[in-house]
Amino acid sequence: MRRNDPIKAVREIRNLLADGRRNYLAMAHRVNDEKARTLLKEIGNGHDLLEHELERSTGGLGGTNKATKATVYGTMERIWLTVRDVVNNTDELTVLADCEYQERNLMNRYVELLGSMSLDERIRAILMRQYGELEENVLRVRSIRAGMENLA
């Protein structure tokens, strides 16, 4: 995370959100359970909304405003998921565990950003609210996963 430039740090978060969107939509195609598929699509689309909200909120603060590229982590994660699926025929519980891990990783990046530099109060408030949405995503994933585990 870029410690001295809040705009670049927010852009990194936006890149991670864009990666998350791509990952969740790709994972939605890997599951057969309709609840899990719907949840993954909702979270992926939610990441898109969060990313665009940050794009709009940082527009007047200077710097390049576009989420510029996929992160190396996101690209490697998608490659790993594909390889793992080919080798193991990954089950839905594992896909949901991966989703929870990704949301928690993103939450950690938010905490790092919120604690590491002074931010415009408007952006800080947006990031805090978005963090809450990520927490809710984790709870939703856990709920679906617990239901699937109980059926197994």
Q: What is the pLDDT of residues 62-76, one digit of tens each?
A: 444 444 555 555 555
Torsion of CA 49, 7, 118, 2, to 10 degrees: 110
**pTM reported for the whole predicted model:** 0.81
At residue 110 the predicted structure's pLDDT band, cuts being 50, 70 and 90, is: very high
Higher-pLDDT residue of 64, 40:
40
Specify the fold of 6-151.
Ferritin (1.20.1260)
Statement: residue 133 has pLDDT above 60: yes
d(CA 149, CA 139): 15
d(CA 15, CA 90): 26
Q: Are 91 and 101 in contact (CB under 8 A)?
A: no
User: Which residues fall within 8 angstroms of residue 121, CB to CB, at 6 or more apart?
Assistant: none
Domain boundaries, the chain: 6-151
Q: Which residues of 47-82 are buried (b: 16+ CB within 10 A; e: fewer)?
A: bbebbebbbebbeeeeeebebeebbeebeebbeebe
